[in-house]
Structure 1
Amino acid sequence: MKKYYQLLLGLSAIFVGLLGISSRVRAVTRYVQSATPTIFVHGWGSGSHAEEKMANAARDAGVIKTIVRANVDKKGRVTFNRPIPANAVNPIVEVNLEDNKLSAYRDNYTQGYHHGGEYVKNVVLALEKQHHYKQINLVGHSMGNLEIINYINDNVNDKSLPQVAHLVVIAGHYNGLVGQSETQNAKINPKTGEPEKMDSVYRELLGLRQTFLKNTAVLNIYGDVGDGSHSDEDVPVNSAKSLKYLVSDRAKSYREVEIHGKNAQHSKLHNNSQVNRELIKFLWEESN
C-alpha cells in the first residue's frame, strides 16, 4: 500500500510539472507573432542606452529576439548596427539621436520638436528600405514623445508611411515642464484632459483633435514621486495627462497609467519594472 501511495505521489508530481510546462508555453504563445517593428525614441540629453532595459525586458519575456540600433546623426542620416532579419518577430529598434538636445532650437523648442519629428521620420523611411512595413509601434520617453507626436502631426496625411498601430507615451511633457510658470500648475478638465492654460508647444498640436489616427491605440504612462509636487520631478502630472484632450476622442483606445513612488522619478521611468510590464502587455499581448 505504501508503494502504491508513493506511485500516486510520483504521478501527481509529474502531472503538476506538465501543467507548469503547459502554463509556460501558454505564457510564451500568448504574444502577438508579428513583423511590426517597435521604435523607441529617448529623451533630452540621453541616448539608446535609456531604451535598453525596456527592450531587454521584452526579450527576457520571450516576446522578441531581434533588437537593432538606429543611429541618427545631426544631419538626419540613419545607420543601423545591423539589418533586421526578414523573418524577425516583433523586432525592436533603439533610436540613438546624436542631436539629443535639439541644440539649435534651445530658444524655440516649439519648432525644435518639429525638427525632431523629422529624425523620427528618417528612421521610419530607413526601415522601409529594409522591409516594407504596413504598420509600426512607437514608444517615447520625455522629449522623445514630443518628437514622435510632431512626426504624427506633421505627416498625418502621408498615406505612403506605415500606420501607427500602438503609441506608448512615457513621461510626456505636452503642456510644459516643472519650472515653466505659465503652465506647470495648469488645471485640466478631469473628463476631457483639456488644460486651462496652454503653452506654445501644446497649441501647435491642437489640430490632432481632428486628425489623430483612428486606428492607433494609445498608452500614456506618467509618474508622481509623491513629494507634493504632483510630478515626476520634471513633468507635471497634468502636463502628461493633457495628451488626452489631443487624441482620446479619435484614438482606437486611450489608457492612462500613473506610477507612484521614488521609482516614478522622471529618469527612472524607463528603468521601471511596472512600466515594462505595462508596455509588454499593451504592445504584444494578443488581446491588443
Structure 2
Amino acid sequence: MKLMLAYGIFFIALVIILGLVWTYVHAGKLLYSKNSVESPDESNRVPTLFVPGFFGNRFSFGRLLSRLVNGFHANKSMVIVVKRDGSLKVIGALDKSRPLIQILFSKKTVRVKEQTTAIMKIINLLNSDYSINKVNLVGHSMGSISVIWSATNMGKQTHTVINKVVTIAGPFNDIEVATNARGIEQTELNADGPVSRSKVYQVLSETIKDLPTNTQILNIGGISDSKSNSDGAVSINSVRSLGFIVRQITKRYQELIITGKNASHRLLHENHQVDKSLAEFLWDS
C-alpha cells in the first residue's frame, strides 16, 4: 500500500514537472493566429516589442502573448534573445498582421541601461533588415522604465518612430529599481506630482522633453493590497507618477488601474482585463 502511494505521488510530481517544462518551452515559441486580421489600417502592421522586468523570463510575457494570438488575432512571429555579450539571436520573421516580438535576456539580472541598449539595437536591426520605421513598446516592472527611456531617446539613436507605449506596474518613483525593498515605497502625490522624488523620477523628468508629442501611452497599475495601496511590490502612486511628467509633453496619455487579487505585481500580465485593454489600445480591437 505504501509503495503504491509512493508511486502515485511520484507520478503526480512527474506530471506536474513535465507540465511546467512544456509550458516554459511553449512560452518561448513562435505562435500564429488561425485568423489573422487583413486590414489596411497601419496599426495592424506595426510590430510590438515586449520587454520583461528584472529577472524576467519566458513566463513574463509568454502566456499573455499566447492569449493575444488566440483571442485577438495577433502573431507572435519573432523571438529575440539578447545574449550575455549583447549580441542578438533572432528567431522567426515578422508577420504582416499584428506582429508581436518577445524579447528575452540571457542575463536575468540585466538592468535598465543594458535593456535600453538592447532595445535600440533591436530597433535598428528591424529598420535595417526589415524596413520597419515604426514600433510599439510594452514593458513590465523595470521593463516599463526601459521602454519609456527608449521612447524618449529613440529619435536620437534610431531612424524609427515610436508609435504606442504600454507600461505595466512601472516603479517610476521608486528609490531604486530592481531591488526588493523591505516595504512598499510610498510617496504622497499632490497637484504637481510626487512630494518626494527619486533619482529615477528626476532623470525621467529631465529627459521626457525628447518624447515625441504624438506618442500614445497607456500606463497600467494594480492594487491587490488595499492596505499598502499597491500591487504588493510597487505602490500605485509610484505607477501614477509617470503621468505628471508625460502629460507635459503629450495629451495622448491614459491610465488604467486594476484592483483585486489578480492585480498583483506578478499577475498583472496574466490579467484578462489587461489583455483586452492592450488589444484595444494597440489595434482598436
Fold match, TM over 0.5? yes
For 2:39 and 2:127, how far apart are their aligned partners in 1? Answer: 28
Name the residue aligned to 2:109. 101
* Displacement of 1:134: 2.0
Letter in 2 for 1:76: G
* Displacement of 1:84: 1.8
**Equivalent residue in structure 1 for 2:98, among 58, 78, 90:** 90
For 1:67 and 1:92, how far apart are their aligned partners in 2? Answer: 6
User: What secondary structure is seen at the aligned counterpart in 2 of 1:168?
Assistant: strand
Name the residue aligned to 1:60. 70
User: What secondary structure is seen at the aligned counterpart in 1 of 2:266?
Assistant: helix
Asked if the contact 1:36/1:135 (under 8 Å) is kept, the reply is yes
Tell me, which stretches of 5 or more residues in structure 2 are unaligned?
A: 1-34
What CA deviation, in whole Å up to 9, does each residue of 1:204-244 have, x standing for no partner? 11124422221210000010013411100110100000001
Letter in 1 for 2:186: N
What CA deviation, in whole Å up to 9, does each residue of 1:70-89 have, x standing for no partner? 1001222111111224xx21
Assess, with a 3 A threshold, how the Cα gap between structure 1 residues 98 and 77 changes in structure 2: closer, same or farther.
same
Name the residue aligned to 1:198. 197
Letter in 2 for 1:94: Q
Name the residue aligned to 1:10. none
For 1:31 and 1:263, how far apart are their aligned partners in 2? Answer: 33
Name the residue aligned to 1:72. 82
Asked if the contact 1:76/1:122 (under 8 Å) is kept, the reply is no
Letter in 2 for 1:50: S
Letter in 1 for 2:56: S
* Displacement of 1:263: 0.4
Name the residue aligned to 1:226. 225
**Equivalent residue in structure 2 for 1:41, among 45, 51, 54:** 51
Name the residue aligned to 1:185. 186
Asked if the contact 2:51/2:140 (under 8 Å) is kept, the reply is yes
Assess, with a 3 A threshold, how the Cα gap between structure 1 residues 91 and 271 changes in structure 2: closer, same or farther.
same
* Displacement of 1:67: 2.8
Letter in 2 for 1:195: P
For 1:258 and 1:186, how far apart are their aligned partners in 2? Answer: 17
For 1:196 and 1:76, how far apart are their aligned partners in 2? Answer: 38
Assess, with a 3 A threshold, how the Cα gap between structure 1 residues 182 and 271 changes in structure 2: closer, same or farther.
closer
RMSD over aligned Cα atoms? 2.7
For 1:210 and 1:151, how far apart are their aligned partners in 2? Answer: 13
Name the residue aligned to 1:261. 260
TM-score for both structures, normalised by structure 2: 0.78
For 2:146 and 2:102, how far apart are their aligned partners in 1? Answer: 15
Assess, with a 3 A threshold, how the Cα gap between structure 1 residues 267 and 181 changes in structure 2: closer, same or farther.
closer
Letter in 2 for 1:174: F
What CA deviation, in whole Å up to 9, does each residue of 1:108-164 have, x standing for no partner? xxxx42232111112212222331112100000001111222223344434x43111
For 2:283 and 2:104, how far apart are their aligned partners in 1? Answer: 23
Kindly name which structure, 1 or 2, has the bigger radius of gyration based on alpha carbons. 1
Letter in 2 for 1:228: K
User: What secondary structure is seen at the aligned counterpart in 2 of 1:205?
Assistant: helix
Q: How does 1:121-140 map to 2 (within 5 A)?
A: 121-140=120-139
Asked if the contact 1:219/1:254 (under 8 Å) is kept, the reply is yes
For 1:276 and 1:34, how far apart are their aligned partners in 2? Answer: 16
Assess, with a 3 A threshold, how the Cα gap between structure 1 residues 260 and 62 changes in structure 2: closer, same or farther.
closer
Q: After TM superposition, which residue ranges in structure 1, 4 or more long, deviate above 4 angstroms?
A: 27-33, 177-183
Assess, with a 3 A threshold, how the Cα gap between structure 1 residues 143 and 197 changes in structure 2: closer, same or farther.
same
Asked if the contact 1:66/1:89 (under 8 Å) is kept, the reply is no
Percent of paired sites with the same residue = 25
Letter in 1 for 2:216: A
User: What secondary structure is seen at the aligned counterpart in 2 of 1:197?
Assistant: coil
Name the residue aligned to 1:19. none
Tell me, which stretches of 5 or more residues in structure 1 are unaligned?
A: 1-24, 103-111
* Displacement of 1:66: 4.0
Name the residue aligned to 2:14. none
Assess, with a 3 A threshold, how the Cα gap between structure 1 residues 182 and 59 changes in structure 2: closer, same or farther.
closer
- Report the more deviating stretch, 28-37 or 46-55: 28-37
* Displacement of 1:100: 2.4
For 1:195 and 1:220, how far apart are their aligned partners in 2? Answer: 16
Letter in 2 for 1:97: F
User: What secondary structure is seen at the aligned counterpart in 1 of 2:257?
Assistant: strand
